Structure formats: structure tokens, C-alpha cells
Structure 1
Amino acid sequence: MTQWTLAGFDLDAFVRNTLAEDLGVGLPGGGHDVTSESVIPADARFAGAMDSRDAITVCGLPIAAAFFRALDPAIEIEILVDEGAAVAANSDLMRLSGNACAMLTAERSALNTVQHLSGIATMTRGYVDAMGDAHCVLLDTRKTIPGLRHLEKYATRMGGAQNHRMGLWDAAMIKDNHVMVAGGVAEAVRRALAAGVREVICEVDRIDQIEPALAAGATRLLLDNMGPDLLRQAVTLVAGRVPTEASGGVRLDTIAAIAASGVDYVSVGRLTQSAPAADVGLDFTPL
């Protein structure tokens, strides 16, 4: 089986640290699963099936498998669906069999991961579908849980979005506070370009900021908190000179009109900020 990898993400460290948190490693009396160790015989074996109780877009199964393998290297795991697949309610996602104590100890960490990432992927797919056939790309944002950015942005990709900036390092995004200190959008853009930044995204919330930002060399315009009519006006003014991105206050019931305004991108913070966990369960039977 090919090892699942994600650029910038250390799967082994994530599994180790997550399990250590749950087991209380380093705390007085910590470092073990008192319930499983006291109730389940050390040589007991279980079979289990992870399933989705609702229709979801699946994400995180290889990571879940890594939790079980970390505690039982001999465990047998069959992942039944691909990452990013849309499944109906009551679909089996994974089958596994192995040491019962290990499986019980890893269960919550594995489920939490799949529930959280599948929740993000499912919400993302809903927004992609709501955009209809507009020639527009859905983007995520940096509104992620600290320490989980790579995983959460992976989940938005599984839901059909593209990633915006991964962090503060891979593009300049000039926002209102930068503009306030610099004295205007043109000066803020000029300073970023003079510093050698190649990609400079400039936020504008007024039509009269567009030409100064473009003249200074902005490579993308983020049209902030503009309704569909104002977005269409802005897109007409930009006339394809740089990509345009709509952002701010985008909801499931408004994204279709926003996407239809002609912008190239729509960014939605709630994909990672507000997605509810998917309803995924894991049932065991003794062997």
C-alpha cells in the first residue's frame, strides 16, 4: 500500500502527538488507556467497520488508518472509498480487524479526524455545487485551527476548492490595515513589489481604489464585501487585466449570484472556520 503523504505535514508526528494528548503522556498517572487496559483482555481481537451516518464527502481515512497502525502494526485495514468521494448515508468507509485494546485506544482520535475533515470537505462540496456552472473557482482562507492548516486545506481540496495562500509567506495580501499604515493602496502595493514580492494581492472595498492598485502593479484584486451589482461593475472596470476575487460575507444562499458576477475566484472563510463535523461512527464486534 502506498504511504499517504501531504506536503508540509508530518503524519507520524501528528499521530504521535494526538495519541499522547489523549493518553495523558507526561502527566501524573498518564500514559495509558485505563478503561481498555482494565476491561479488555490484552489478547482480545475485534473487527470493526467505520461508516457514515449521513451523506458526506469523505476525507481523512488514511490518517485514521495511521492511528490504528501506530498502536497495532499488524492490524488489517481495508479502506473502501477514495478521498473526496461523495457517499450516501449508511455507507461503509473502512473495515479493520486487530488487537481490541489498540483499536479502542485509537478510535476517538481516528474518528475525530475523519469527522472534522469530512465535515469541511462536505461543506466545501456544497458551496462548489451552489456556484452552479459559473466559470469561477472556490477558494479557502487562512481561517484554520492553529496546527491543522495543512489538513484543513487538504480537506477543502477534497471538497472541490482550491487553496488560497497557505500562510503569510507565499504571497502578499494587502488589507485595510496595511493600506492605512502605508497611506493608500498604491503605496502599499509599490512597497511590496519593491521588496521583491512577486504575487501581490490587494484588497479593495471601493471602486475608486481599483485603478490605483492596478497602476501600482497589483497582481490580483480582492473585492471585499461587495454585492453582485458592485462586483459586476468592478469586473468590468478591471477588464481582465488581473484576476479578481470576491470575499466577505459569502453564504451558501448568496454564492451563486456572487460567482455569476464575473469574478475569477470566491473565497469563503467558513469552509474551515464553521464546518460542522460529519456524522461518522465505528462499530466493533469481538472475534
Structure 2
Amino acid sequence: MYTHEIESFLEEDLGYNDISCTLVPDHDIEAIIFTKEDCTLAGLDIAMSFFDYLGIQYSTDYSNGERISANDVIFSLSGSSLSILRTERLVLNFLGHLCGIATNASRCVSIVQKHSNSRIACTRKTTPGLRKYEKMAVIAGGGDPHRFNLTDTIMIKDNHVKLMGVEGAIRSAKDKAGFTQKIEVEVESSDDALKAAQKGADIIMLDNMGPQEVKDTVDLLKTSSIPEHIIIEVSGGINMDNLEKYAKTGVDVISMGSLIHKSQWIDVSLELIDEHKCK
């Protein structure tokens, strides 16, 4: 995390007249941060950035992506009571949110791995300003971040197709693409999927199709001898309840906005060890 980001988050949380944290004498204290439920860890590096900035000493036995149990201690802290109190809510918010995403992603990956080698990916349905952190949490949970922004891959979506047609949109994308950029086409029918493959798409996204329609389209593409490098992705309306069915369709990638926007925060808490020093 960059210094200006740390300072921006601190400015938002502390405001201009922080009385609550300065009520207590500023002594050296010890504290622990622990989880109240089983989870997959994410955001440890972000917490460390805040600790480093505020001069808080810390230690941990864990890394992002590790699974831990309720009551496990994530961090042991020592340092200024003022600094620890001021960083408490920010660190707990980041850990709770990002561990929730990592835990959700890990569960989805586990479901898919029982049935196929399909990769689980998130989408750009992220919280503005927090995208890189949320996508890194998906990675910690074993998922794929997909595009971080519009520059990463040229995606031809349904509105592009409505305006230009599949062939016209792909032709325009090829004219403008750099040699490192892949072209992904979002389609809603087997015919358009085949057309996209024949016209040079690198990735074909089957959008808002039911599992059986996805399977039929995958079978059609494979029997039509499409180039081996083409990646077949499915997205739209996929959740924990129907994920197993999509895992059996033969797609390469299953992208789920719900990896992030349907995740539940993990209950993480900070507890003072030498609390008497703050009285």
C-alpha cells in the first residue's frame, strides 16, 4: 500500500479532532488481533502497512491464503497505545472484508475442484477505490482476478455487438489492439460463440446461459475444431447454489461477481493484553 493511500484512509477515519483515542495516556501496550470464526486469510500485507506507518511492532505466524480457525491469533502487537487505537478500526475493517472475500473464493474453488479443472474468477463488480485489494483477496482464496481494469483485455460486450455486430466489433478490436492484448467476446447464443471463435476471438464468454446451454455450446465449439488457444468462459447468474452444475459443463473459466459482492465479512477483533496501562 502506498503512503498516500495509508494517509488517505487515516484521514477519513481520524478526522480533524480525534478525542476518543487521546483520552488515554500514551503508553507502550501489547495487543492481539484474532478471528472469531474459521476463515481464509487475506489483507495481512495491508495491515502491516498501517503498522509500519504508525511504528507498531507486530508478528504473525500466517500468510495470505492460509486457513485458520476461530480464536486463532492473526497478529501480536506492541507499541504506542495511541497508535494501536488509531489503527484498530481500519485494520479490522480491511481484514474482515478481505478475509470474507478470500473465504468465499476458497469455498467456490473447492466446489469446482471436485468436478473439473475450471478456474474461478471474479469480475469488475468491485467497491470503487478498493478494487486491487478485493481482487488480491480473491487470489488469496485461490481464485483468478480477471481484468484489473479495461486496459488489461479488450472485452467486446453485448452493447458493442448490438452497435457493430460480432464480426465488425472483432475487426475493430484487432485494428486497435496492441500485440500483448487478448480479445474477449461476450455472446448469448451458440451461433455467436462459433462466429466469434471463427473470427479470431481469444476468449469467448458465454453470458447468462443456463448450465445445459453452456454445455451444448462448449460441445459445439469443440466439435467445430476451434483453435486450441481459445478460452471458454461462462458468467452471469452463477452462485454457490448452481456452481456445481456449471463446473460440469467443460468451460475453462467460471467468473462470478458474487465472489466479492456476496461475500460476508469475517468477525475479527483486537484485544489489549496490558489493558491496565491505558487506565
TM-score, structure 2 length as denominator? 0.92
Q: CA deviation at 1:80?
A: 2.2
Q: 2: CA distance between counterparts of 1:199 and 1:62?
A: 31
More displaced 10-residue stretch of structure 1: 91-100 or 205-214: 205-214
Matching residue's letter, 2:160: H
- Aligned 1:1-287 pairs, distance under 5 A: 10-24=1-15, 30=16, 32-37=17-22, 39-42=23-26, 44-71=27-54, 73=55, 75-131=56-112, 132-182=114-164, 184-197=165-178, 198-239=181-222, 241=227, 242-286=230-274
Letter in 2 for 1:41: P
CA distance in 2: counterparts of 1:135 and 1:285, whole angstroms: 46
Q: Is the 8 A contact 1:80 1:95 kept in 2?
A: no
Q: Output the CA distance in 2 between the equivalents of 1:196 and 1:126.
A: 36
Cα drift, residue 36 of structure 1: 1.9
**Identical residues among aligned pairs (%):** 34
Root-mean-square deviation over aligned CA pairs: 1.3
- Residue 255 (structure 1) shift: 0.9
- Give the aligned residue type for 2:86: T
> Does the Cα contact within 8 Å between 2:154 and 2:177 map onto a contact in 1?
no
**Which whole-Å deviations, capped at 9, do the CAs of 1:203-245 have from their partners, x for residues lacking one?**
1111111222122211110001111211111111211531100
- Asked if 2 retains the 8 angstrom alpha-carbon contact of 1:57 and 1:122, the reply is yes
Q: How far apart, in 1, do the equivalents of 2:78 and 2:105 lie?
A: 32
Cα deviation 1:14-50 (Å, max 9, x = unaligned) = 21110011111xxxxx1x421121x2112x2221111
Structure 1, residues 160-193: CA drift from partner, whole Å, max 9, x if none? 00121111001111111111111x1111111101
**Preserved CA contact (<8 Å) 2:32 2:273:** no
Displacement of 1:148: 1.1
Distance 1:212 1:134 in 2: 26
Q: 1:63: Cα distance to partner? A: 1.3
* Structure 1 position 133, deviation (Å): 3.7
* Letter of the structure 1 residue corresponding to residue 157 of structure 2: K
The residue identity in structure 2 corresponding to 1:282 is L
The Cα offsets for residues 72-99 of structure 1, whole Å up to 9 and x where unpaired, read as x2x3210221111011111111101111
- DSSP 3-state at the match of 1:35: coil
The 8 Å contact of residues 187 and 216 in structure 1, kept in 2 or not, is answered as: no
Q: Offset of 1:13 from its aligned partner?
A: 2.1
| Offset, 1:274 | 2.3
Moved over 6 A (4+): none
